Amino acid sequence: MSTGRFVSSASIGSTSTSSSTQISANVPISNTANKWKRESDCDEFVGARRSKHTVVAYKEAIYVFGGDNGKNMLNDLIRFGVKDKSWGRAFATGTPPAPRYHHSAVVHGTSMFVFGGYTGDIHSNSNLTNKNDLFEYNFQNGQWTEWKFIGRTPVARSAHGAAVYDGKLWIYAGYDGNARLNDMWTIRLTGETHQWEEVEQKGDRPPTCCNFPVAVARGCMYVFSGQSGLQITNTLFQFNFKDKTWRRISTEHILRGAPPPPARRYGHTMVHHDRFLYVFGGAADSTLPNDLHCYDLDSQIWSTVTPAPESQIPSGRLFHAAAVIGDAMYIFGGTIDNNVRSGDTYRFQFSSYPKCTLHDDFGKFLQNRQFCDVQFIVGTEEVKISAHIAMIVARSQFLRSKILAARDARNLHFEKLFGTTDVRLAEQPILEVQLPDAQPEAFEIVLNYIYTDRIVFKDPFSHKLVLIMMDVYQLAVQFNIPRLEQLCVQYLEFKISKSNVLDALYNADRMGLTLIKDYCLGFIVKEDHFYNIVMSAEFAALDKPLIVEIIRKRLNPSKHTTDMKYDKTIGTTLESDMAVFLKSGGKEFCDINLVLEEKIIPAHKSILAARCTYFQAMFRSFMPADNTVNIQIGDISPSLEAFDSLLRYIYYGDTKMPPEDSLYLFQAPCFYGFANNRLQAFCKHNLENNITYDNVLQILEASDKMNVLDIKNYALKMVVHNFSQVAKLPKMQDLSRELLLDVIMAIADMKVENKQRIHDTFISQYNDI
């Protein structure tokens, strides 16, 4: 049986056509990224509105099985074709699973596998039971088959998680009718022998839970939130299939200064696409949120997706289901307000842009230590740590003043030695800056933060991390990096515990860190902490003045404090600092001149080299003696405006630019050797969606100069179709003679086409008479 063999319902709605401001058929058109769109609803005669069902994707369709409509459990199988946008009943033979909900369904090869769930008559509340049966539905012939097993089987369950990896079905956790579970079982989906195997799990396993989603990515299964009683959290857990080990992903967002994970919830969905996990819906305490969250597997941070303009955003819901086809997510059904079942379908267009590599590029550049032009002499042991002036001065005013003072002292030395400060860069010794009070390990962490906006530990499992972070906090205060201060405070608040709080208190007192000291005192005197801490051997060894402070704090409960006060809005990001540095703050530290259209554009070698292999190779092998580089992109010299857009991308990852700049920069990623083609992807999207009669002449001019014929022809057609408006634009008078002739020829061609169309229409009507 082909996947197109089903009983169809009429498609609701019409297919939209391209507007006059989009690229013509010979130029690729992409769907708007991050856009929600409501698709055809499923008619009641095809399938009921439902929740607690499953959705899987196979080829160009999603398949919905089971669930409940508020009165009865269901076991029908319905199908939505994403190309023809129509619903129908999927062809099926054999005995299907009994009606059920909170089951699981996965796809392997040409089959769907349905496991477990809750069955019975919910209307009369009879024969209700969990199941541990496994059914296979073959998409090619529509055959349902129940599997038979040998040996042990998992306990019957519902509201569990299921995944496919390495040709096996993996079942995790759920509810057995009496208690929540966190066991795991697996069974091979190929071969003649069907035998379950219980998995021996290692690592930091999630608590017993149910009504959670799972997603598989990069050899791992991810579990987020769910119903787990008093232990319900918004923690993301990762299970590695190879070594069968769990890992809790909890503090990474703190170390990266990123938003926290989504609020704890259950009945939500989670899918994987590209490098992201996407979480939608569910019940978050007493609300039904409809925002979409994504977790970046590369940067390990959460963010909330901003929907594209004109999105048709689904209402909040729980117990819906989702699946991915191509570069889009489809969600169907669910329970919405007032316990109403839904039968609507939504499509979300993923953003497939390559990731921003700004932080990674600068981080790798620091690790490689190429082109370093400053050396910090750190601590009493005078450890030498190299870095790049441009990066340092862009992020810390304190270190900027230190570098300026060191540079002035060096110039004074040159003046005495040579009678001038005009000494060639190649002959200048590396600038040295003394930091005698800093701890080298803490300074390395601060330095990495300056380059990447992230805190990275050499040994993330060291028992000294709290003490190291206190040193980092002290440097963040001294160097005037407020956002790093906040990250340290958040991390310490998260990590300080009954086992390490006395060490933290002692060191906070020794280092004069009043904020952290007060937090430690408040933590110690809390009712559920105090007895265990004061009865410990560490407390008995504590300095007497600190013991006195603890006792006084305990006796004066009105001054208890258990939260470190900090303002999360204070501080700047790497992007914002680099933007200011490019626009105004970095002029006195420029060490390279870029020349375009006879205009000199001062820049910074280290930033150019960190982001572009083109400049890196140039500065390493054949740096011009006069420190001047003529700018081109292949054989083309970009406009000054386009190159300004390119510099913004290099310095702080900005992708906002007018469409005409996108034409000039389309080939820049290849020519300059960026880490990926992110800029090119944005240029393509910009051109596909933002050509209007207001900017069409700039696009025409740029496409002619860049010899991009598809775009040029499209621009000419737009000029012709909007000529009465375009002709009045001031830019029209600035067009070259050759382009004006092209416009005239396009107008003539259009008139010929119109005459032919009128003639053909007349002949057709005449023949019909």
User: What is the 3 state secondary structure string of 475-514?
Assistant: HHHHCCCHHHHHHHHHHHHHHCCCCCHHHHHHHHHHHCCH
Check residues 254 and 498 and name the one with the higher pLDDT: 498
DSSP result, 350-395:
---PPPP-HHHHHHHHHHHTTT--EEEEETTTTEEEEE-HHHHHHH
Check residues 463 and 421 and name the one with the higher pLDDT: 463
pLDDT tens profile 173-183? 999 999 999 99
442: confidence class by pLDDT, cuts 50, 70, 90: very high
Residue 38 burial by Cβ neighbours in a 10 Å radius (0-12, 13-18, 19+): middle
What span, in angstroms and rounded, lies between the C-alpha atoms of 215 and 61? 19
Token pair listed for 148: 């038979």
What is the CATH topology of the domain spanning 355-553? Answer: Potassium Channel Kv1.1; Chain A (3.30.710)
Question: What is the predicted pLDDT for the residue at 16?
Answer: 32
Phi, psi values for residue 737, rounded to 5°: -60, -40
pLDDT tens profile 201-215? 999 999 899 999 999
pLDDT tens profile 19-34? 323 333 233 334 678 9
630: confidence class by pLDDT, cuts 50, 70, 90: confident
Reference 160, options 210, 112, 118; nearest CA is: 210
Q: Please state, rounded to an integer, the average pLDDT across all residues of the chain.
A: 88
Reference 97, options 59, 61, 67, 139; nearest CA is: 67
Question: What is the predicted pLDDT for the residue at 598?
Answer: 87
Question: What is the predicted pLDDT for the residue at 27?
Answer: 32
Neighbouring CB atoms inside 10 A of 353's CB total 18
Query: 707 near 636, Cβ under 8 Å?
Result: no
| For the chain, percent of residues with pLDDT exceeding 90 | 65
Check residues 631 and 318 and name the one with the higher pLDDT: 318
Q: What 3-state class would DSSP assign to 154?
A: coil
Phi, psi values for residue 328, rounded to 5°: -140, 150
Question: What is the predicted pLDDT for the residue at 564?
Answer: 60
Check residues 124 and 197 and name the one with the higher pLDDT: 197
Across 70-84, 212-226, 335-349, 405-419, least confident range: 405-419
Q: Count H helices, E strands: the chain? A: 23, 35
What is the pTM (predicted TM-score) of this model? 0.78
What span, in angstroms and rounded, lies between the C-alpha atoms of 242 and 9? 45
pLDDT tens profile 301-352? 899 999 998 899 999 999 999 999 999 999 999 999 888 999 999 999 998 7
Question: What is the predicted pLDDT for the residue at 253?
Answer: 67
pLDDT at 5 over 50: no
635: confidence class by pLDDT, cuts 50, 70, 90: confident
Neighbouring CB atoms inside 10 A of 365's CB total 22
Query: 118 near 177, Cβ under 8 Å?
Result: no
Query: 368 near 59, Cβ under 8 Å?
Result: no
pLDDT at 11 over 50: no
Angle formed by the axes of helices 709-721 and 737-768, nearest 10°: 70
Reference 498, options 524, 467, 518; nearest CA is: 524
DSSP result, 430-480:
PEEEEETTS-HHHHHHHHHHHHHS----SSTT-TTHHHHHHHHHHHHHHTT
Helical spans, DSSP H, in 101-246: none
53-82 burial by CB neighbour count: b if 16+ within 10 A, else e? Answer: bbbbbbeebbbbbbbbbeeebbbbbbbbbb
Residue 579 half-sphere exposure, CB side, CA atoms within 13 Å?
A: 10
End-to-end CA distance of the chain: 47
Could you state, in order of their start, the residue ranges of all structural domains in the chain?
33-347, 355-553, 690-768
Phi, psi values for residue 673, rounded to 5°: 75, 50
Across 3-7, 30-34, 517-521, 565-569, least confident range: 3-7
17: confidence class by pLDDT, cuts 50, 70, 90: very low
- The listed range with the strongest mean pLDDT (390-394, 493-497, 755-759) is 390-394
Angle CA 533–534–539, to nearest 5:
90
Neighbouring CB atoms inside 10 A of 634's CB total 11
User: What is the 3 state secondary structure string of 565-631?
Assistant: CCCCCCCCCHHHHHHHHHHHHCHHHCCEEEEECCEEEEECHHHHHHHCHHHHHHHHHCCCCCCEEEC
pLDDT at 488 over 60: yes
DSSP result, 111-125:
EEEEEEEEEEETTTT
Q: Give, for 203, the enclosing helix (H) or strand (E).
A: strand 202-203
pLDDT tens profile 738-752? 999 999 999 888 877
How confident is the model over 665-676, as a mean pLDDT? 88
Reference 684, options 712, 651, 701, 661; nearest CA is: 661
pLDDT at 172 over 60: yes
Strand partners, 65: 54, 77
764: confidence class by pLDDT, cuts 50, 70, 90: low
Query: 145 near 138, Cβ under 8 Å?
Result: yes
pLDDT at 263 over 90: yes
pLDDT tens profile 117-138? 999 987 777 788 999 999 999 9
User: What is the 3 state secondary structure string of 289-341?
Assistant: CCCEEEEECCCCEEEEECCCCCCCCCCCCECCEEEEECCEEEEECCEEHHHEE
pLDDT at 633 over 80: no
272-291 burial by CB neighbour count: b if 16+ within 10 A, else e? Answer: bbbebbbbbbbbbeeebbeb
Question: What is the predicted pLDDT for the residue at 13?
Answer: 29
Token pair listed for 274: 């590209």
Amino acid 148 reads K
What is the architecture of the domain spanning 690-768? Alpha Horseshoe (1.25)
Question: What is the predicted pLDDT for the residue at 662?
Answer: 86
Question: What is the predicted pLDDT for the residue at 761?
Answer: 53
Reference 163, options 271, 87, 83; nearest CA is: 271
Across 47-56, 317-326, 478-487, least confident range: 478-487
Q: In whole angstroms, how far apart are CA 607 and each of 9, 389, 390, 486, 604?
A: 58, 10, 7, 27, 6
How confident is the model over 420-438, as a mean pLDDT? 82
């207001």: which residue's tokens? 694
Task: Mention the CATH class of domain 33-347.
Answer: mainly beta
